[in-house]
Amino acid sequence: MEKTNFERFELQPFLIEAIKQLGFYNPTEIQERLIPSVLKGDSVIGQSQTGTGKTHAYLLPLLEKVNPAKQEVQVVIAAPTRELASQIYKEVLKITKYCEEGKEITAKCFIGGTDKQRTIEKLKKQPQIVVGTPSRLFDLVNEKALFVHTTAAIVVDEADLMLDMGFLEDVDRLASSMPEKLQMLVFSATIPEKLKPFLKKYMDNPKYSHVSPNQVAAAKLEHVLVPLRHRNKFKLLHDMLLSYNPYLAIVFTNTKKMADEVADDLMAKGLRVGRIHGDLTPRDRKKMMKQISNLEFQYVVATDLAARGIDIEGISHVINFELPSDLDFYIHRVGRTARAGYSGIAATMYDVEDEDAVIRLEKMGIEFVNKDLKNGEWISIDDRNRRKKRQKKTDDVDKEASRLIQKPKKVKPGYKKKRAREIQKFVQKKKRSERRNNR
């Protein structure tokens, strides 16, 4: 396996092996800036958006410093949501599985919605890495089940979201149970004023790094949103692939099981499909990559393993059959196409429950176009938020009516009903006028 540029950080062999297996070759800007500082023991503030590689900017150097001989809590990672905590924990496990025999690093994830008593039972042996939501972590410390007085470093991920959700107090109480000489790593998309007293309390002259990706995705890449609208997802995918008739398309799923289901379904419909996921043996994977390079497949179904570090030339289309739970991976997925100045299409199939993820991607700077496939033809459709916008407009009219039609100085019986009728008349008249103007 080729060398990786992470080797210059002089990380332990198991970390270099994990990095290679994850397909990381060049550190991102935030990794380049922060890994040496974290290794030195500095406290850091990393201001960055999703998609900059911040998770591994702290995981790699912190895992480097864990002493596997000490069975005590050494690193605590606090995340504002269960989903994010679970995602970070999975990333920890992807790295620690390469630990040498006899030098294993133990990690545990503690989040709400799980059996607290069972969790306490598991803590008879303290893990070296702890990931979790602040309230559950503090709860376990309070129960004298989790011992954080031995902690060398704490990570506060998505600190601005912690603040918004009211979790910063729990983080504060958690950190105050830790040693005075504590390495604190804070990551946040923004640094609000209300966050600054917390930072000042725990961080003495931290290294500050602000990384803002100039462009989160390639310039000639079109991001298409395709609504599911109660249709069969497998059939819609098949129809999309036939309609696009790509030079080479990668269809992304979140799990190996789903990748196999999608690939099997497309093959049953007569398409020749390749697949890339973690269950392939090194030999099968090498063979598959060679077949893809030789253009034996027009369609490839893959898990996020393919989004990280696998360079396949000539990908014209990326289809997100499922949106990834960690939106960093959206950027990595769509980065497979529109390379070296070429154009490309990244189409995402979405349903109502994906709305929050889509909004977060838009906040990151992704500009989606809304399209649908009807009778084999691609048509532009209305912005999915038009109802919300229309409702807002109606609310504005209601406010205007309430302002103009004021409560009389002398109140007579039945004035409330009379005023309500007048407001309703005003709103209806305004709407009729707007409809006439829009014709």
pLDDT in the model for residue 306: 57
Rounded to the nearest angstrom, the gap between the alpha carbon of residue 4 and the centroid of all alpha carbons in its chain is: 25
Are 76 and 175 in a shared domain?
yes
Residue 202 lies inside a defined structural domain of this protein: yes
Helices (H), 100-195: 116-122, 134-142, 159-165, 168-175
Are 167 and 245 in a shared domain?
no
Task: For strands 368-374 and 377-380, give the pairing.
Answer: antiparallel
Are 193 and 251 in a shared domain?
no
Judge contact between 237 and 349, C-beta under 8 A: yes
Nearest to 202 by CA among 131, 151, 130, 161: 151
- Give the separation between CA 337 and CA 283, rounded to whole angstroms: 26
The predicted model scores a pTM of 0.56
Residue 388 lies inside a defined structural domain of this protein: no
Q: For the range 65-69, what are the long-range contacts, defined as Cβ-Cβ under 8 Å and sequence gap of 24 or more?
A: 65/39, 65/41, 65/152, 65/153, 66/105, 66/128, 66/129, 67/128, 68/99, 68/103, 68/104, 68/105, 68/128
What is the domain-level CATH number for residue 156?
Answer: 3.40.50.300
User: For 120-150, how does the pLDDT look when each residue is reduced to its tens digit (9 = 90+)?
Assistant: 888 989 999 999 999 999 999 999 999 999 9
pLDDT in the model for residue 439: 47
Are 123 and 230 in a shared domain?
no
pLDDT in the model for residue 191: 83
Are 185 and 278 in a shared domain?
no
Are 163 and 289 in a shared domain?
no
Are 314 and 260 in a shared domain?
yes
Are 197 and 272 in a shared domain?
no
Residue 207 burial (CB count, 10 A) = 17
| Domain stops at, among 211, 238, 271 | 211
Are 255 and 165 in a shared domain?
no
| Domain stops at, among 211, 242, 259 | 211
Residue 27 lies inside a defined structural domain of this protein: yes
Residue 216 lies inside a defined structural domain of this protein: no
Domain count, the chain: 3
Q: Does residue 369 sit in helix, strand or coil?
A: strand
Residues in the chain, pLDDT under 50: 1, 309, 387, 389-394, 438-439
Residue 302 lies inside a defined structural domain of this protein: yes
Residue 298 lies inside a defined structural domain of this protein: yes
- Give the separation between CA 369 and CA 24, rounded to whole angstroms: 31
Are 198 and 234 in a shared domain?
no
Cα distance from N-terminal residue to C-terminal residue, the chain? 65
Residue 419 lies inside a defined structural domain of this protein: yes
Judge contact between 277 and 347, C-beta under 8 A: no
| Domain stops at, among 185, 211, 237 | 211
Nearest to 107 by CA among 149, 144, 62: 62
Are 144 and 284 in a shared domain?
no
Give me the domain span that covers residue 42: 5-211
Residue 282 lies inside a defined structural domain of this protein: yes
Are 170 and 246 in a shared domain?
no
Q: What is the mean pLDDT of the chain?
A: 85
